[in-house]
Chains A and B, each alone.
Chain A
Amino acid sequence: MNLTLKIWRQKDAQSKGKMVDYKVTEISEHMSFLEMMDVLNEQLINAGEEPIAFDHDCREGICGMCSMYINGEAHGPDRGITTCQLHMRMFKDGDTITIEPFRAKAFPVLKDLVVDRSSFDRIQHAGGYISVNTSGNTQDANAIPISKHAADEAMDAATCIGCGACVASCKNSSAMLFVGAKVSQYALLPQGQVEATDRVKNMVAQMDLEGFGNCTNTGACEVECPKGISLENIARMNREFLSANIKG
């Protein structure tokens, strides 16, 4: 298939960017979106032009690096996927595809389609951990009884890969689905109880400090999340936050 691509080009974090049009031809419908980008970059390199910078690592839907907003949606029009899992069969021959980096003040663009998501790392550092006694008397985690329901919900929350699609899709650039998932994966398990109060307070404080917007429950994050993280995690974080503030 032959396509027209409208791609955001930006030299570096300080420069102003703009949309630039490119044509690609003979794209197979079996290619992944990133493979199509590889074809374009090869074309650009052969023509002596600067290739388009985009983040990618595993190309298996796990690393969450791709940060592309394709035709007005995070990771494109398909559901439950990252960009590397988006196939060109989702598009038609002759289509024009708009490709932009994830947009949020807390995710500044570094170059072309690459954004800086270290704000997520700082939120994690603020409380996304547990302390484990490693003196030699550590209890085997499997020996602690945990209900199936709680274990399943904690595992569901833990599947969040921190890709930032929630922030990119949210009209308010809110990070509450990400933070909700990170709070939930510990809040549901006994190992997470020791720091429970400080965790939610510190992670929410860091989230607010980073300049993310406020959640207005549009649900866009849940729909666009490649791992299907549910809004229940935001509700749980809200309950945890209230209870942590009451406890002091």
Chain B
Amino acid sequence: MSGFFKSSIGRKYAMALSAFFLMFFLLQHFAINILSVFNGEAFNEVSYFMGTNPLVQYILQPVLLFGVIYHFVMGFILEVKNRNARVVKYAKNNGAANSSWMSRNMIWSGLAILGFMVFHFNDFWVPEIVDKFIEGNSQVGKDYLHHVVVMFENPIRVGVYVLAFVFLSLHLLHGFNSAFQSVGANNKYTRGLKGFGKAYAILIPLGFIFIALFHHFNH
């Protein structure tokens, strides 16, 4: 297996595996966030658990950070390599005739998501880390929901979040099924999986948009 991850196919596998991990993370992030709409107390409790559980904090969180960084860095490396594989560009290229806009522009939707993540980390993750590890404040009884509500008071922030989730949806519309194809899963279940992927790529980002709008207009 020494040269596996240096090969073009090995890198496809690695990109797909990091994508699977990130898509699973996104689902659990949504499952927790939606609690903030229906049950603030439960949202605070789960947030406290996620913010203080040693397994989540010291094992899953670093794995997540690695997954995010790897997916972005490898995505950019592959994009540069792919661009170098065609030195002279076509004078006329009709990409829309044979492929979707989403599949041809993963780098741009990915860059938009990367930009959003810097913004999002600054909104939620950095204050949490500062509060917990630098200032050393106790997390017991912390009102996580209050922080969410305060953040979504700003209409510009809400607008940025809505736009970011549109880009996330576009990225997932190609990325979900592409990850399965990359790991060699193209069989009789592919048709059904494509439908599921489409639903996931639309409903999850739409759900996040709903949460942001709900807190903006309800508080």
* Chain A residues with a Cβ under 8 A of chain B: 6, 8, 17, 19, 69, 71-73, 77, 98, 100, 103-106, 109, 169, 171-174, 176, 204-205, 207-208, 211-220, 223-224, 231-232, 234-239, 241-242, 245-246, 248
Contacts and interface: CB of A to CB of B under 8 A. Distances in A.
Contact of A208 (B7, B13, B88, B185): B7
B94 A235 contact: no
B172 interface: no
A241 B87 CA distance: 28
A242 B97 contact: no
B95 interface: yes
A169 B98 CA distance: 8
Contacts of B186: 231-232, 234-236
Contacts of A242: 4, 9, 13, 184
Given A100-B90, A103-B89, A171-B104, A220 B82 contact: no
Given A105-B87, A224-B98, A241-B7, A219 B82 contact: no
Nearest to B103: A218
A2 B125 CA distance: 65
A227 B4 CA distance: 30
A123 B178 CA distance: 25
Contact of A217 (B10, B91, B94, B103): B103
A17 B88 CA distance: 10
A71 B94 contact: yes
Contact of A204 (B9, B99, B106): B9
B81 A223 contact: no
B12 interface: yes
Given A173-B85, A208-B7, A6 B91 contact: yes
Contacts of A171: 82, 95, 99, 104
B98 A223 contact: yes
Contact of A215 (B12, B98, B185): B12
A45 to B, nearest CB: 25
A210 B103 CA distance: 24
Contact of A213 (B10, B86, B106, B178): B86
27 contacts: A72-B93, A100-B91, A103-B88, A105-B84, A105-B85, A174-B85, A205-B7, A207-B8, A211-B84, A212-B8, A212-B85, A213-B84, A214-B8, A214-B82, A217-B103, A217-B177, A217-B178, A218-B98, A218-B103, A219-B98, A220-B98, A234-B186, A235-B185, A239-B184, A241-B10, A245-B1, A245-B10
A213 B81 contact: yes
B120 interface: no
A219 B91 contact: no
B13 A217 contact: no
Given A103-B89, A214-B78, A241-B10, 7 more contacts: A72-B92, A98-B92, A100-B90, A212-B8, A213-B84, A217-B181, A219-B103
B13 A238 contact: yes
A98 to B, nearest CB: 4
Contacts of A241: 7, 9-10
A4 to B, nearest CB: 13
B182 interface: yes
B12 A211 contact: no
A73 B99 contact: no
Interface string B64-94: 0000000000000010011011111111111
A218 to B, nearest CB: 4
B98 A173 contact: no
Nearest to A18: B91
A217 B82 CA distance: 13
Q: Which 10 A-B pairs have the closest CB atoms?
A: A72-B94, A213-B85, A235-B186, A239-B184, A172-B82, A223-B98, A213-B82, A218-B103, A173-B85, A218-B99
- Between B1, B8, B81, the greatest number of chain A beta carbons within 10 A of the residue's beta carbon is seen for B8
